[in-house]
């Protein structure tokens, strides 16, 4: 290997020439968000003179230790608040003006890192694109929001969404520097999975679309956001758990990161059944309304979208939830009732009717229909597929393409099915990794599917259309036909797949993928933010 170099706005970086690619790791895109910079939007990194090596990944954002069996052996594990680093894989630092693909990792807004072997960008880059991955602040450090955290020097910045500010800073870095790495700053596609896809939806609601990227891919995630009052309650719970008598910026900034993480875990465990308590917030700054409402109003107009989910998303958690594996009929109805109530849909969805509809649907297509199967199918649709398809149709002025991924994992005798995150090794081509393939499977069929998906993703980045020679026909999604690309052992175009279930849930959901009470409470949240800002709170 020989070193290769690129100029950035802050200094020259040295990467490694690896066969036909150049790889840069650990390039700072923001100053360390520590001390006075904690709970503030990121600042530009300090310039350096001479050359700086970019050979090793930067630290992970502060996060809990991964659960047993969820981390890939050999992945970096060092965590630090000093985490604003990115990585670039390029075919050459040669002014080639190639399409750029910027990936936002998932992890429930509390975990994950761009340094995972799952996200190695080399095989994608060999399709003629420049791949950028990056870390951003997680958990309380990235997604806490409270009026006490509003920056008096920047009154329009809001009172939270620091992780979202980081993501925008990474995109700003790409716009300013990627041409030195052989990329075209005018042809950027942002793509993300799970919380990363939810982040992409939030980015689509900001001023970034068309300015910082022209295309977006959302894998297993759609538009989500907390209202400001809910976010404020979470912040106050964390402050109390950490021993603060009153929540202040100074008090939170003085807490050791480990104590803040401990309080975050305690509070997060209390809210497990209520959904993610760390996520984008409608705080009057970057997000002035729910991302779904912003996109309906045209914030994503002119942006091309690919939106999709995996058939059995919820089965990803079947090993960590013993009660789910042992579910019987009475337990099924009880748990579905709890889900309906937690989603604010009590009185609009009946648990028994929902279970029977899913039983008929699964049996009708020859799928297993035991209680765990029924629960996973319903919650997969409620949480992932229906909100994703709503986004595909609801983004005014955007052209959308839809997919349904149904390759099945061999792990555990096949119990995971086509679970959450399973498409990632096929998008990045890392199903060839012998450790990753234990989860993903592979072989000749898997490699063929990965080639199809890498061609679709990179073709979309280049042309705005995912169809092509390797992929075949992939028409745009329309309300009348709901054209959906099936990606699995069979690759084909489906019309309105699993439509009975989708229509059943869609008819009950409120405008933001949850119940009507969430819509009403958000209206109160927005007014509360405005009132506090007027009062200088």
Residue 515 placed within a domain = no
Mean pLDDT of 392-404: 97
Using pLDDT thresholds of 50, 70 and 90, give the confidence band for residue 529: very low
From the list 81, 193, 232, 313, the catalytic residue is 313
Q: What's residue 514's pLDDT?
A: 58
What's the confidence (pLDDT) of residue 157?
81
**pLDDT computed for residue 520 by the predictor:** 31
Query: What confidence score (pLDDT) does residue 152 get?
Result: 81
Q: Which residue has the higher pLDDT, 271 or 15?
A: 15
503 and 442 share one domain: yes
Same domain, 219 and 333: no
Among 101, 107, 99, residue whose Cα is nearest residue 83: 107
The answer to whether 56 is a known catalytic residue is no
Lowest mean pLDDT among 116-130, 380-394, 402-416, 500-514: 500-514
Report d(CA 136, CA 139) in Å as an integer.
10
Average pLDDT over residues 114-126: 97
The domain boundary, picked from 303, 336, 364, lies at 303
330 and 203 fall within a common domain: no
Determine whether 114 is an active site residue. Answer: no
For residues 112 and 116, give the distance between their C-alpha atoms in angstroms, rounded to a whole number. Answer: 8
User: How many domains, the chain?
Assistant: 2
341 in a domain, yes or no?
yes
Q: In whole angstroms, what separates CA 391 from the centre of its chain?
A: 14
Residues 36 and 185 in one domain: yes
Within this chain, do residues 328 and 293 fall inside the same structural domain, yes or no? no
Q: Which of 61, 115, 179, 194 is catalytic?
A: 194
What is the rounded CA–CA span in Å between residue 46 and residue 32? 10
**End-of-domain residue from the set 250, 277, 303:** 303
Question: Is there a domain that residue 71 lies in?
Answer: no
Of 303, 338, 353, the domain-final residue: 303
Would you say 524 and 227 are in contact if contact means Cβ atoms under 8 Å apart?
yes
Q: Distance of CA 94 to CAs 186, 261, 427, 528, Å?
A: 16, 43, 26, 51
The b-or-e profile of 287-310 (16+ CB within 10 A means b, else e) is: bbbbbbbbbbeebbeebbbbbbbb
Please state, in angstroms and rounded to a whole number, the distance separating the CA atoms of residues 148 and 169.
Answer: 23
239 and 269 housed in the same domain: yes
Question: Going along 108-182, which residue ranges are E strands?
Answer: 130-134
Asked whether the predicted pLDDT for residue 479 surpasses 90, the reply is yes
The answer as to whether 516 is a domain residue is no
Contact predicate 289/280, CB 8 Å: no
Q: Would 486 be classed as within a structural domain? A: yes
Position 528 scores a pLDDT of 34
Q: Any catalytic annotation for residue 420?
A: yes
Lowest mean pLDDT among 154-163, 270-279, 361-370: 270-279
| pLDDT confidence of residue 3 | 54
CATH number (domain holding residue 431): 3.40.50.1820
Residue 453 has what pLDDT?
A: 98
Residues 258 and 313 in one domain: no
- Same domain for 264 and 234: yes
Is the same domain home to 289 and 317?
no
**pLDDT above 90 as % of the chain:** 85
Record the pTM.
Answer: 0.94
pLDDT at 532 over 50: no
Looking at the structure, tell me whether residues 178 and 319 fall in a common domain.
no
Distance between CA 522 and CA 190 in Å, rounded? 28
Torsion of Cα atoms, 110 then 112 then 114 then 120, to 10°: -160
The pLDDT tens digits of the residues spanning 402-441 come to 999 999 999 999 999 999 999 999 999 999 999 999 999 9
pLDDT of residue 274: 58
Contact 263, 247 (CB under 8 A): no
Catalytic member of 180, 220, 420, 526? 420
Same domain flag for 268 and 320: no
Asked if the structure places residue 519 within a domain, the reply is: no
- Does residue 528 belong to any structural domain of this protein? no
User: What pLDDT is stored for residue 504 in this prediction?
Assistant: 95
Residues 6+ apart with CB under 8 A from 52: 11, 12, 13, 14
Task: Evaluate whether residue 491 is within a structural domain.
Answer: yes
Domain extent, residue 474, equals 307-394+398-508
* Residues 311 and 278 both lie in one domain: no
């Amino acid at each position: 290997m020989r070193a290769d170099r690129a100029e950035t706005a802050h200094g020259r970086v040295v990467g490694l020439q690896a066969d036909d690619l150049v790889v840069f790791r650990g390039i700072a895109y923001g100053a360390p968000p520590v001390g006075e910079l904690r709970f503030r939007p990121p600042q530009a990194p300090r310039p350096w003179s001479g050359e700086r090596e970019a050979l090793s990944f930067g630290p992970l954002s502060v996060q809990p230790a991964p659960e047993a069996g969820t981390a890939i052996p050999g992945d970096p594990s060092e965590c630090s608040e000093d985490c604003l680093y990115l990585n670039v894989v390029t075919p050459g630092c040669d002014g080639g003006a190639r399409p750029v693909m910027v990936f936002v990792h998932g992890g429930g807004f509390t975990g994950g890192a761009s340094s995972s072997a799952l996200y190695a960008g080399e095989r994608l880059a060999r399709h003629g694109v420049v791949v950028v991955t990056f870390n951003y602040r997680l958990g309380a450090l990235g997604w806490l929001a409270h009026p006490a955290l509003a920056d008096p020097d920047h009154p329009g910045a809001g009172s939270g969404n620091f992780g979202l500010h980081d993501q925008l800073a990474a995109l700003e870095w790409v716009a300013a520097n990627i041409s030195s790495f052989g990329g075209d700053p005018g042809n950027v596609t942002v793509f993300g999975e799970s919380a990363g896809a939810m982040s992409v939806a939030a980015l689509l609601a900001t001023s970034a679309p068309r300015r910082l990227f022209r295309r977006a891919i959302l894998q297993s995630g759609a538009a989500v956001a907390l209202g400001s009052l809910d976010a404020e309650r979470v912040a106050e719970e964390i402050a109390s758990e950490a021993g603060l008598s009153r929540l202040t910026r100074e008090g939170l900034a003085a807490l050791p990161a480990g104590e803040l993480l401990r309080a975050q875990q305690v509070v997060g465990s209390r809210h497990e059944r209520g959904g993610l308590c760390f996520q984008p917030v409608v705080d009057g700054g970057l997000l002035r309304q729910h991302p779904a409402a912003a996109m309906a109003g045209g914030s994503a107009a002119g942006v091309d979208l690919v939106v999709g989910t995996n058939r059995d998303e919820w089965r990803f958690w079947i090993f960590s939830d013993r009660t789910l594996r042992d579910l019987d009929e009475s337990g099924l109805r009880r748990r579905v009732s709890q889900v309906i109530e937690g989603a604010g849909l009590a009185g609009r969805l009946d648990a028994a009717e929902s279970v029977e509809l899913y039983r008929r649907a699964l049996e009708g297509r020859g799928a297993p229909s035991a209680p765990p199967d029924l629960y996973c199918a319903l919650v997969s649709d409620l949480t992932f597929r229906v909100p994703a398809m709503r986004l595909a149709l609801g983004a005014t002025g955007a052209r959308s393409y839809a997919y349904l991924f149904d390759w099945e994992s061999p792990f555990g005798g096949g119990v995971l099915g086509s679970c959450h995150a399973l498409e990632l090794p096929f998008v990045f081509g890392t199903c060839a990794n012998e450790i990753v393939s234990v989860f993903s499977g592979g072989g000749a069929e898997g490699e063929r599917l990965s080639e199809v998906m890498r061609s679709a993703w990179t073709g979309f980045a280049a042309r705005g259309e995912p169809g092509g020679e390797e992929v075949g026909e992939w028409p745009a999604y329309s309300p009348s036909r709901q054209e959906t690309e099936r990606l699995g052992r069979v690759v084909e175009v489906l019309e309105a797949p699993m439509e009975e279930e989708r229509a059943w849930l869609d008819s009950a959901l409120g405008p933001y993928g949850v119940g009507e009470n969430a819509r009403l409470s958000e209206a109160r949240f927005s007014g509360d933010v405005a009132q506090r800002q007027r009062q200088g709170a």
